[in-house]
Amino acid sequence: MSVRQLRVGDMRNFAYLLIDDESGEAMAVDSGWDVDPIVSMVREENVEVKFAVATHHHSDHVATLWQLARVFDAKIVAHRSSPISHDIDVDGGDILRIGGKKVKILHTPGHTEDSICIYDGENLLTGDTLLIGSPGRTDFEGGSPQKLYKSLHLTILKLPPRTMIYPGHDYGKVPFRTLAEEKKANPALMARNYREFLSTTEPGSRRH
């Protein structure tokens, strides 16, 4: 699987295309405020967008997701608890198929209750659950530091160290890196217990 990372909008959002190179099928993940960069990339790569996936319901990630889905006649995918209108409900452990490849949904609440990550066996698109160098914020409606701690430590950190982390915002020193590298640099992942983790979620300790 190939990942195309696009910076969109004024909040340094990342949108993504996850592409099965053999079939030419793809999924778009989040869209931010502007679909034009994604549309241009789809046409440049000459791929067929099968799904438009929301990592969570915040407007800076999904404001134009319906528009994107209409352009490509794609199905909108979101967690079953998501308040946004969508075509396909998913939950943790569910599988989406792109061509001959399987893409697994990880339910990772904490930033929001409907937060999901997209995992293809090598790459993890984390939305705002995990950013480069920091955890996602937990002080929005539906946020929970307890749930985010579990999502990071009991779900994401169980993945192979070589897994490439692709966040929902360009807030870090690099736009992506391996889970092994992130574990050595991100205080939220280095925390030895929930008490230590809480100090990484305090205001001023993270950007989003």
Per-residue pLDDT band for 44 (boundaries 50, 70, 90) equals very high
CATH number for 86? 3.60.15.10
Structure confidence at residue 200 (pLDDT): 82
Please indicate, yes or no, if residue 207 is contained in any of the structural domains: no
Please indicate, yes or no, if residue 14 is contained in any of the structural domains: yes
Type of residue found at 199: S
Structure confidence at residue 206 (pLDDT): 45
Please indicate, yes or no, if residue 179 is contained in any of the structural domains: yes
77 and 90 in contact (C-beta within 8 Å)?
yes
CA distance 9 to 75: 23
Please indicate, yes or no, if residue 48 is contained in any of the structural domains: yes
Average pLDDT of 8-17? 91
Q: How many domains does one find in the chain?
A: 1
CA distances for 66 relative to 17, 73, 118, 175, angstroms: 16, 10, 19, 26
Structure confidence at residue 202 (pLDDT): 59
Give the pairing of strands 88-90 and 95-98: unpaired
* pTM beyond 0.85: yes
Per-residue pLDDT band for 204 (boundaries 50, 70, 90) equals very low
Average model confidence (pLDDT) across the chain: 94
Please indicate, yes or no, if residue 208 is contained in any of the structural domains: no
Q: Which domain holds residue 175?
A: 2-200
Please indicate, yes or no, if residue 123 is contained in any of the structural domains: yes
CA distance 24 to 201: 40
Residue that has been written with the tokens 């789809």 in this structure:
42
Residue 69 has pLDDT above 60, yes or no: yes
CA distance 54 to 45: 21
Contacts of 147 (CB under 8 A, 6+ apart): 109, 110, 113
pLDDT digits (tens, 9 = 90+) for 110-136: 999 999 999 999 999 999 999 999 999
Please indicate, yes or no, if residue 184 is contained in any of the structural domains: yes
Per-residue pLDDT band for 205 (boundaries 50, 70, 90) equals very low
Please indicate, yes or no, if residue 206 is contained in any of the structural domains: no
pLDDT digits (tens, 9 = 90+) for 136-159: 999 998 999 999 999 999 999 999
Q: Is residue 51 classed as helix, strand or coil in its secondary structure?
A: strand
